[in-house]
Amino acid sequence: MTILNILHFPDTKLRQKAELVEVFDEKLKILANDMLETMYDAKGIGLAAVQVNITKRLIVIDISEDRNNPLILINPVIKTTDEKIQFEEGCLSVPGFYEKVDRFNKIEYQAQDLSGNYFSNKAEGLLAVCVQHEIDHLDGKLFVDYLSQLKRERIAKKITKLESQGALPTRKNVPYSI
Ligand code: QAP
Ligand code: CO
């Protein structure tokens, strides 16, 4: 198990578009487990592969209190949406900042599991918002993109400063190939 390095906004690598996963092998399982370990270590509830510089359509989520209900979504797609709500979000790639974003309260999504089998599910509230937030990452989009340019630039400046001071956690891990 390996804890991966999480990229921080405004790193342009976070703008990479992820590609469909087509090979469901042992390496994919290892990556999913490393992403879960990385998310738990960082006390997050969701992490997308793009955030650890891997451009594959893979996300991991765990919104459970006990941190024991991992959800692995490969090639996730939102099929239906319902009413919009405002939801306060954070992001492991935007540490220390939380802002309200417009999201759908209820969704139905489709994804594949680690064996490549398709499944569909409904989600509501926090889980629904988390799936939307993580799918955005796979398209190079961040929650700060929904804020004003002024807010976004202020956040970018503050994070860049913290990073230059070595005040954010970084891990120079072995680059993955998948
Ligand atoms: C996305 O975000 C999300 O600033 C997942 O210092 C967040 O796991 C979806 C985190 C909220 C819906 C609602 C952020 C941890 C974790 C921080 C996260 C921080 C430490 C964010
Ligand atoms: Co995020």
Cα of 142 from ligand 2 centre, angstroms: 7
Per-residue confidence (pLDDT) for residue 175, from 0 to 100: 42
Question: Which of 65, 134, 153, 163 is flagged as catalytic?
Answer: 134
Task: Give pLDDT, residue 176.
Answer: 43
Token pair, residue 77, equals 């797609």
Token pair for 173: 């891990």
CA gap 112, 77 in Å, rounded: 10
- Rounded to whole angstroms, the Cα distance separating 92 from 97 reads 9
Tell which atom from ligand 1 comes closest to the C-alpha of 87: 13
Confidence at residue 171, expressed as pLDDT on a 0 to 100 scale: 65
The CA-based angle 108-109-111, given to 5 degrees, is: 160
89 given a catalytic annotation: no
Q: How far apart are CA 46 and CA 129, in angstroms?
A: 10
- Rounded to two decimals, the pTM is 0.95
93 C-alpha to center of ligand 1: Å? 8
Residues with CB under 6 A from ligand 1: 42-46, 89-92, 95-96, 129-130, 133
Alpha-carbon distance values, 106 to 4, 15, 46 (Å): 31, 26, 17
Interatomic CA distance for residues 106 and 68, integer angstroms = 23
Which residue positions in the chain have pLDDT lower than 70?
171-178
Q: What is the DSSP letter of 51?
A: G
